[in-house]
Every structure is written in C-alpha cells, then in structure tokens.
Structure 1
Amino acid sequence: MIIKISSMLPSVIRIIFLLFLIISCNAAAQKAPLTIAEIGKLKITDSEFRIRYELSPFISQKSGTNAEQRKSDFLFSLITEKLWYLEALSSGISESQLFRFYYQPVEDIHLRDALFKKEISDKVKLSADDVTKALMFAGTEVKTDVISGNDSAAIFYLYHELSGTTPEKHDSVLVTFSSSGLSLNQFTVVLGSMKDAEVEEYIFTLKQGECSYPVKSELGWTMFLVREKSSKPVDISNQSEVNRIKEIIRNRKTLLKTGEYFSKLLSDVRIDINEQNFRYIAEAMYNKIKIRYPEGIDTAEGKIILSDSDFRELLSEIPEQEIRRQLFTAGLNAVTILDFLSHTAFNELTFSSSGKAYVYQRLSNAVKTFVQSCILTDEARRQGLLQTESVQRDLALWKESMLAHFLKLSSLDSARASDDEVKQYYDTDIYNDREQTYLNVQILTLAQLSEVEEALRRITEGTSFDQVTRSYGFTDPLADSAGMTGLKPAAVLGSIGTIAAGLELNELYGPVRRENGSYSLLMVKEKQRSSDAPVVDFEKDKEQLRRYLAQKKITGFISEKTAELFKKYGVRVNEQLLSSVKTSDIYMFTHRLMGFGGRISAVPLLDNWADWINIQQLKKELLP
C-alpha cells in the first residue's frame, strides 16, 4: 500500500486547525516558583501543586469538607507519587517494553506540539492592517445563497441573469435553473467563517441583492447571492471582544501557515506500507473485537473500542518476532506493528461497526494518519526539540506519574487472596466486625478516559448521573443494567466498597482507575450502618470478597512501602507555604489540545494515594 501524503493534506489541515491549545504549568506561573516539598532531589513547587490540584477532576474526600486538610492530603498524594517514581527508576521498569508501549506516544505528541509551536504558532503575527480590517467587518453578518456546480457555462449564465434583474425577481430566476444541475444552499458569512479571507472580505463589500462573481473552489464553480445583510458597531473599548476578534484572524492565519508547512514538509513524501504486515495486525485486532462483540454490533455513536486489557492481551499473544514486523519507514526509522498498536491504544480508536470490512477500512485510515504523525515526530526529533526545557518539563510530570502507577500495578500479584483466606474471612472475620457499612452504589465503568470525559460533560450540562449510567446499560460486574449494586456490605464490593464507604450520599466520585485499566465513576445511593451479622452468600459473593481482601493487602502494602520510601529518600514539607497557596475548589477534567492534532489530559491523572497511606504517621517521618 503506497500513500502520497500530499493527497491527504486538506482534511488533515482542517482537523489540525481545530486542535491547538497550549496549556502548560509554565503558563500558570507569573513569578519564580516556590518549593512546597522536597523528595530526595525532586521538588514540588507551588505552581505545580496548584495546577495539579485544580485540574484533577476529583480530590480525596477522606478529610471531609476541611479544605486545608484536603490540600494536605493532595500534597501527600503527590509526594507519594514521586517517591514511587524514584523507586520505579531504580527497578528498571522504565526500560520495559510495556512501559515504553504506553509512554512513547506521550513523548511523541509533546514533540509534535513543540514542532507546531516553533514552525506555526510562533510565526503567526497580526499586522495593524489585519486588526483594522477585522474590526471593520466584525459586526457584519451576510446571509447568502451559495450556488455551486461543475458546469461553468450554466453558472456564468445564471450569474448574468441574476446580475441583470432586480432582487424581487431573483427567486423566479433561480426556479428556472432548478434543473440545470447546480446546487443551492444557505450560508451565513461572518468574520472567520471562510478559509479564504479575500473571498470573505469581497462578500462583506457586496450589497443586499448583489451576486458575487463565480470562482473555482473545492465545490466546483461557486458564487454567493446576498439575501440579507446587517451590521452592528464593535465596542473597541471592550478588550475581551477585541481579543476574540484578533483570535479569529490569528486562527485563520494559523490554518494557512499550517497548510504551507505541510506542503513544504510532506508534498513529495511517499510511504510504502507493508500490506502483509498491516493485514496481520488488522486481523489480530479484528479478532479481538469479534471476541468482545460475538453477536456483532453497529452503532452510529462509534462505541466499539478496544480496552487497555485488550491491548495487553494483544501484546502477550503476539509473538515477539511478529510484533516487531516493520510496517513502513519514516525518515531513518523503521516503524513496527508494536509502534502502531501503541499509537492506536493512546488515541483510543473507536469503531461504529464490528464488521470485518469496516474494521479493516478504519484501521487503514488510522495507519495513514499514523504515517503523518511519524513524519512530524521524526522532524521534531531532528530539530532537537526533545531537549527543550518546556518539553522536558512536561514529560517529567508524565513520566513520574506513569512510572509510579506501573510500580503500584506490579505489586498487585503479591496481593492475591487465596481460597483459604477468603473462606477464613467469610467464616470468622466478616462476622467479627461490630459495625458493618451497607452500601448501594451506582457505578459507571468505561474503557477509556475519553468516554469518561463525555459522561462528565453530559452530567455538567444537566443530565443526572442516574440517566447517564442507565443509558450505557451493563458496564460493571458488580452492578445491574442501571449501574446499581443493591444494598450490600462494603466488603463485598471490593476496592469500590472501600472508596464508597468514605463518601457522602449522592456524592459523585471518580474517575477511579481499576485494575483492568478501565475507569469508574461512582455515587452512593444508600448507606446504612448495622451491628447485625451481614447477609452474604459465600458462593455468589466469593470473588467480591476475594477482591476486598486483595484490596486490604494492597492498602497495607502501599502504606508500609510508602513509609519505607519516606525514610529511604527523605521528605521535607513547607506547610506554611502550602497554606498560603490559593486554589479553587472547582475541580475540572481538562484536556490539552495539541498542535498537529491529538489531545491529552491537561495534567496526569493523580491516583488518590491519600486513600491508601497513613498521612499522620508519615508526617512523623518528615525531615526538619
């Protein structure tokens, strides 16, 4: 399969134009950062703490409504993350194939973003003339009929007919051309609505009833008939409105600059994709979809998605020599099946059908997009952008978070509960708890963060959590199709029960990262305390009890290991400075839209380590 990159440029540029927004820790700080905590040679500054705190969707509620204590809990979660990162570095996890599988796309997207900033956004400048023209037309709205077609003779004849008659007769003229093969659509022209600034300005100068001269465009021959035109003055004393207008012009210049850059970099590039190796991985991914959806599925919403567990299974099932097969070469680099899988997992590719032909076509389009990404990433590396301060700073946050999480996951194997331990707990320990917490928890479990974001968006816009959860049907083995667990002892609900026991009624919490890589949102609908022996069916609830005991082991292990790491690396905290850091209590789940396309969480999602560690005990281990 040979693809010529230039043939894909128009659609690529349109997407890229919409996907550029810079959010960085550096932008939040207007003064020299102050150090809140030191962990070995690492530091947590006030600016890092603030942006991580405010851009985390949910904060541990173990301290209730005490805002200062919540900040302290969050700081100790950050400290724990960095301690586990330091320990992970010494363990060699960063060199493992699995870690590189998840980390490489993060590095690559930051490189492309840095390239976009250097080659595109930093070079877009607004002249005084640009601003003057924009302010002149900013209040103008022109409602038009857009007439287009491939028959130049027909459209020029229509142009002369419309130009030679009064506006009152335009409709009758158009009726006579209804069978000429020309199409007619309505379009409202406002500042920035058209890619071509000159055409847009030309339409702004037309009077009501006038018709533009036909021009050749992507739609064929096109002209605009002005139906209505209105103008209102722009308040130039309103700086926010002036800035909005400037941004419209800057975005259009960015679009044009991006097109020029793509033409220069990619116009003569030809990539030969190995057809056999592409079909090999396409077949493997299709088979995984077929296993997950054995009865087939077609959905306009594109809800078919391979989960983190699916990709881990693919990595373990495909032999090493097969997964290292070469798909194509970008620059001097051989790009493999493994690289494509990594890119696909990171970008959370969705499918709207489980049909084989459709899946193959979707993956074919995905590999073409991947080719473009590889060329841009290679160019960014060639320019040495990986060594720039901003890229290194952003990647450090991601590497710390990901390595800490990987080390935590690696400890799960030592936290398995045997059949004997589960039976012992059921026969004896569960009945020794004087006070049992019974919970009915509503759970929504989704495979990818993008799905969680969509659910949170719907909730933010006013749809209740109950409605959102019911719309997904069965998503979690602990719950029914409405997402309800029913009233059960917290122990039976495993790690979810441990978290939910500390929540208030109707308090939305999450996303909670589950052991299988999925994410859960949860809300406690009922909560009761009872000294009566809990009603538990051993055979029915054995696996939930096993998960609960495993969670207890994990919590104990994490708490003990963190205390050990406090002593090993040494931790200092400036609690007075922490108290002085002003933060918002409106927590957000925010994406950073990256240059040249793609998106990533604005900051790494912090595990709620505070729910697993003994903070009061750790404070006794702080260095002076």
Structure 2
Amino acid sequence: GMDTNKKIKSVKEVIENRKKQLLFGEFVKLIYGDQNIPADKKLFQKLYENIKSAVYHKCELISCNKSDKLILYESDFKKIKSSFKKEELESPFVMFEDNPENLNYFIDHLTFNEFKIQSVDEEVMVSVLNSKVREFITLELLTREGSKRNLNSGEEIQYALELWRNNYLSQLLKNHYIDSAGVTDDEAYQYFIKSKNDSSLTTKLNIIELLTDSLSVIDNVLDKVYAGYDFRELAVQHTKREKVKNNNGEFGLFSVEEFPEIGTYASKLQVGEFGGPIKLEEGYSVFQLIQKEEVKDLFSDSFEAEKQIIKEKLFYEKFEKILKSKTKELAKKHNLVVNESLLQQIKTTEINVLVYRHFGFGGRILAAPFLNMFYEWFEEFQEEIDKTL
C-alpha cells in the first residue's frame, strides 16, 4: 500500500545519500592526496576566544538559556573582525601548500554560511569551529579543482554567479542601513503618549505558523498540504517556535507592528490563504491566516511594558522608509525602466513551491536567491517620475 511505498522510497533515499557521501569522500581524497592542511594554531585560538565572547554577549542580550540554539550573523562577525589587528587578518590561516588563505577570508566564509551552535557550550563552539575549518578546506579544494578544470567559464555559470553575487551584495547593503534605523527611548515614549490618545482601530491577525531552519522541511510540508494533509498538524510537528508548538500551531492574536515582517505579509492575505516562505532572522517561516479583525489597540498603562514592542515597530517603519528611499534614489540614478509587457508575459502560479539546483555528490542550492516581497517603493517611484514628465 501507500505506506510501504513511502518506506521503500525513504530507504532508497538513505542508501543513495550514503553512496553519494562515499563517492564524495573518494573524490576529495583524489584531489587532496595525503597532504595535511593545518590551520594556524594561535589564530585559531584567538578566533575561538572572540567567537566565544560574541556568543556570550549575544546570549546575554536576548537572555537565552545555556541549552538554547544560537546563530551568529554578519553583524556579530563584523565585531569579531574588529577585535583583530589588520596584520592578523592578513596572516595565513589555512596552510594550503600553494596560496594559503588568510584569516580575513575564512571569517568571510563563516559570515556567509552562518555560525550555528546547538547549545551555548564551549565544547560545542570548538567542535563547530573545527568542522567549519574542515568544511572550508574541502570547499576551497573543490573550488580550486573546478577552476583548474575551467568549469567556471561557461555562460550559464557566469549568469548564476552574477545572480547570487548581486543578491549577496544587496543583503550587505541592506544590513549597512540597519544602524541608521535605531530608535531612542524618547522616540518610543513620544509614540506611546500619542497612541494613548488615539482611538483608531488596528488590525489583529492570527496565523498557524511553521518556523524552521530547513527549506527541505518547508518543501515537504507544502507538498503534503497540497495533497490534503492538515497544515496545523504539520506545523505543530515541525515548527521550532516553542510558543506555537505548545499552542496547537497558532501564533495567537498579534498586530502587524508586533511582528512586522510576518504581519505585513499576512495582513494582505484573505483568511485561509497561505503566506511565505519568508526569511526571518530566526529561520524560514510559512503560515496560514486563520483570523483577521479590527480592534482598538490598547496599550497597557506602563510604558516600560510596551517599550520593546514600540521600539521594534518604529525600527521596522524607519528601516522600510530608508530602504524605500535608497532604492528610489538608485532607480533614478540608473534610469531604471521596467518592461511592463515582458513582465505581464511571465507565467506565475498561486502554488507555493521551492525549486532547487542540484550539484554533484548530493549538493543542492535554491535555483534562484530567496527574496522577501519588496515592491511598494516602485509605485512611489513611478509617481515621482510621472510628475517630472
């Protein structure tokens, strides 16, 4: 029956993956030979110490438990980099026989591939850093072998590299504006006072949400939903957001301001519709809107109790504003024109799917970079252009 087929399929997958791993090991040995490629011990130790203090600092900020998972992002690695001298960053770190790679390049690799620990524990940190060094050596060897075989010269490869390069640069540029969107306590207080006297209604939403680090999980879940499985059950089973897991898959009523990234998207849906996946700092989120109502937004009397939510709301508004105006600025500077008729010809679907590009030995990557929706700036840009005509 159906179950037997499923079991056979999953056993086949396991065997296939093991074979891929074996072949990969053999191939790497082939290009590795017997060479021992060490990392500089002193720099490794200092990098570990700096990562450790960044983890403890971050953990303190978000008051996490020692058993919590934690991820270091680009902003964390910026601070880690700044604690090294220029000559340390330029020193050889991974000792390839020809062209050793410096520490700066290795830290960029960590920044790029996010540093994730399963618990805030020193042994875990050392082992993750060690495995990151091994991963870096393997990837670097493969990259060098690929260049040697001239695999990076095809038109398709160049196009794909350019696509991802632009995406990463846009992420970096975005992150660059984060600091300009800071919100002071005073700004938050002014907003709090103003809201107390405001009797307007606010939209409250409730969603069933699945949050995960793995796009494969989302892929599988969406397939199952289209095949008729209950999304709520799947969300409870797979989500890593504890409060949702313990609340029958539901987020609980929230306003757009409280969770702007999810809220902005969810508020545009009709009840019953799905949204996402979207990329949040804590992972990928896919959700179904189950409730939408207009209510009077009642802040409690204590500013302290509301301060964090208000600050996040104002930060998000500021950040969106900065992104919009910078994007419009760049669009004007480069005389952006959208080919409307070509745009209309693009076939779209209401079905949420993820498409992958597969590599040798079982590697895979998204077929195109992952983008959150960001289009409101274009209407304003059009209006401003029309005014000048």
Q: TM-score normalized by structure 1? A: 0.49
Q: Are 1:464 and 2:231 matched, yes or no?
A: yes
Q: Is the 8 A contact 2:205 2:292 kept in 1?
A: yes
Unaligned runs of 5+ in 1: 1-190, 196-251, 298-302
1:567 pairs, out of 311, 319, 332, with: 332
Q: Are 1:544 and 2:309 matched, yes or no?
A: yes
Which secondary structure does the structure 2 equivalent of 1:410 belong to? helix
Specify the alignment match of 2:160 in structure 1. 394
Specify the alignment match of 1:60 in structure 2. none
In 1, Cα distance between the equivalents of 2:207 and 2:81? 34
Letter in 2 for 1:527: K
Q: Deviations over 1:365-394 (max 9, x none)?
A: 442332222222223334554444232211
Letter in 2 for 1:395: L
Q: Deviations over 1:261-290 (max 9, x none)?
A: 655532243323333333443454456556
Letter in 2 for 1:507: E
Letter in 1 for 2:354: F
In 2, Cα distance between the equivalents of 1:512 and 1:271? 39
Shift of 1:596: 5.7
Unaligned runs of 5+ in 2: 1-11
Q: Is the 8 A contact 2:207 2:289 kept in 1?
A: yes
Q: Is the 8 A contact 1:440 1:527 kept in 2?
A: yes
Q: TM-score normalized by structure 2? A: 0.73
Shift of 1:192: 12
1:491 pairs, out of 247, 257, 262, with: 257
Q: Deviations over 1:221-252 (max 9, x none)?
A: xxxxxxxxxxxxxxxxxxxxxxxxxxxxxxx9
In 1, Cα distance between the equivalents of 2:20 and 2:298? 67
In 1, Cα distance between the equivalents of 2:322 and 2:20? 55
* Higher radius of gyration, 1 or 2: 1
In 2, Cα distance between the equivalents of 1:194 and 1:528? 50
Specify the alignment match of 1:417 in structure 2. 183
Q: Are 1:507 and 2:273 matched, yes or no?
A: yes
Distance of aligned partners of 1:460 and 1:553 in 2 relative to their CA distance in 1, 3 Å threshold? same
Letter in 1 for 2:298: V
Q: Is the 8 A contact 1:331 1:378 kept in 2?
A: no
Specify the alignment match of 1:270 in structure 2. 36
Q: Are 1:335 and 2:93 matched, yes or no?
A: no
Q: Are 1:580 and 2:336 matched, yes or no?
A: no
Shift of 1:605: 0.9
Letter in 1 for 2:306: D
Q: Deviations over 1:569-620 (max 9, x none)?
A: 223333333333334433322333333664322210123112x425275277
Distance of aligned partners of 1:606 and 1:544 in 2 relative to their CA distance in 1, 3 Å threshold? same
In 1, Cα distance between the equivalents of 2:232 and 2:206? 15
Letter in 2 for 1:277: L
Q: Is the 8 A contact 1:495 1:548 kept in 2?
A: no
Q: Is the 8 A contact 2:20 2:361 kept in 1?
A: no
Pairing 1:150-161 to 2, within 5 Å after superposition: none
Pairing 1:516-527 to 2, within 5 Å after superposition: 516=281, 518-527=283-292
Specify the alignment match of 2:139 in structure 1. 373
Q: Is the 8 A contact 1:563 1:618 kept in 2?
A: no
Letter in 2 for 1:535: L
Distance of aligned partners of 1:524 and 1:380 in 2 relative to their CA distance in 1, 3 Å threshold? same
In 2, Cα distance between the equivalents of 1:507 and 1:340? 43
Shift of 1:475: 5.8
In 2, Cα distance between the equivalents of 1:590 and 1:343? 25
Q: Is the 8 A contact 2:209 2:239 kept in 1?
A: no
Which structure is higher in RCO with an 8 Å CA cutoff and minimum separation 6? 1
Q: Is the 8 A contact 2:275 2:287 kept in 1?
A: yes
Distance of aligned partners of 1:439 and 1:540 in 2 relative to their CA distance in 1, 3 Å threshold? farther
Shift of 1:558: 3.3
Distance of aligned partners of 1:316 and 1:573 in 2 relative to their CA distance in 1, 3 Å threshold? same
Distance of aligned partners of 1:287 and 1:506 in 2 relative to their CA distance in 1, 3 Å threshold? farther
Specify the alignment match of 1:528 in structure 2. 293
In 1, Cα distance between the equivalents of 2:347 and 2:128? 47
Distance of aligned partners of 1:562 and 1:451 in 2 relative to their CA distance in 1, 3 Å threshold? same
